Amino acid sequence: MAKKRILSGMRPTGKLHLGHYVGALENWIELQNNYDSYHLVADYHVLTTDLDTSNVYSNTIEMVIDWLAAGLDPEKSPFFRQSQIKEHTELFLIFSMLITQARLERNPTVKDQVRDLNIQNVIYGHLGYPVLQSADILLYRGDAVPVGEDQVPHIEITREIARKFNNQYGNVFPEPEPLLTKFARLPGLDGSAKMSKSLNNTILLSDDPETVKNKLRKAVTDPKKIRKNDPGRPEVCLVYTYHKKFNPEGEAEIAAGCRAGTLGCVDCKMMCTEKINSFLEPIIEKRKVLENDIKKVEEILHEGETAAKKIAVNTMEDVRSKMQLG
């Protein structure tokens, strides 16, 4: 029985942080053994919020290095740039005829982005980026998409578009299911709901031990735990959230010590620092090797693009045939 196919991707914004790992990359690495996986560098999607493309290529290389260093295997999971597979834009054009402006304006993710980035005038491409995302997924006839809960509305749009095309022209596309990540979000060091480079509240996968130590030293904790002996509330402390992810075997002891007032925040942060640095050490070592062999990274991208192109061309041949466009 053939493996089900998944398509997932990230916008290339440079080096990745722990939030990217926990929210997506960790899940991709696990899924690549059980699914036919394809991983997209969503470089066209960058344009929805930033028209400056001067750093897109260098950011792509940095991101792909992190993918490789964290454990994505290009033999199992080809990597490719969206901009190098022209069929993405062709299918996007067709799909844009199958959805209304009103439907796109109801998308909560776009509303959140407009608010968070303080965007005054929403461009057509930003409003329509879930349609491009649908083309990204359906071009490879993805059966499932690994996402956080905030992306589920996009998968529903993809399913609607697939259904509309199939009903109008004949069956070409599956209706993909969301594969929800287990640990969807990691809060930022400042206590924000998520890590974000724009908020400068991240720990990068490439941060050295001293950098991690300095960043965690400044991390916000329970505001009511002022002195070491004060009883704390681990459920409101973001450092405890990091312990739950990177120190699961010590989580209960950390929580008990915090509540009893026997564990101070400084010691708690130092223990968390050690666990995160232990986690990052093999990633950083692999990263150093890859940074010294950029040509190899570029070859991996080109090989992935060759594999992706074959599938994309085949899909578009079926699309044109069903639409009687030759």
CATH number of the domain bearing residue 98: 3.40.50.620
**Would 191 be classed as within a structural domain?**
no
pLDDT score of 73: 96
Asked, for residue 195, whether it belongs to a domain, the answer is: no
Is 202 domain-assigned?
A: no
Domain that residue 16 falls in? 5-186+294-322
- In a shared domain, residues 178 and 314: yes
Residue 153: the pLDDT is 86
Same domain, 153 and 120: yes
Same domain, 176 and 247: no
In eight-state DSSP terms, residue 75 is T
Instruction: Identify whether residues 89 and 70 lie together within a single domain.
Output: yes
Q: Please tell me whether residues 274 and 303 are part of one structural domain.
A: no
- Looking at the structure of the chain, the number of domains it has is 2
- Contact predicate 249/199, CB 8 Å: no
Residue 69 lies in a domain: yes
285's tokens:
């070592």
**pTM of the predicted structure, to 2 decimals:** 0.92
- For residues 229 and 153, membership in a common domain is answered with no
Give, for all 326 residues of the chain, the pLDDT tens digit.
788 999 999 999 999 999 999 989 999 999 999 999 999 999 999 998 889 999 999 999 999 999 999 999 999 999 999 999 999 999 999 999 999 999 998 888 777 777 776 777 888 888 899 999 999 999 999 999 998 777 888 899 999 999 999 999 999 999 999 988 776 678 899 988 789 888 899 999 999 999 999 999 999 888 888 888 888 898 889 999 999 999 999 989 999 998 988 898 999 999 999 999 999 999 999 999 999 999 999 999 999 999 999 999 999 999 999 999 97
CA dist 308 and 249 (Å) reads 41
Identify the pLDDT of residue 268.
Answer: 92
Residues 123 and 53 grouped into a single domain:
yes
CATH number at residue 239: 1.10.240.10
Same domain, 162 and 281: no
**138 and 85 housed in the same domain:** yes
Residue 308 and residue 258 share a domain: no
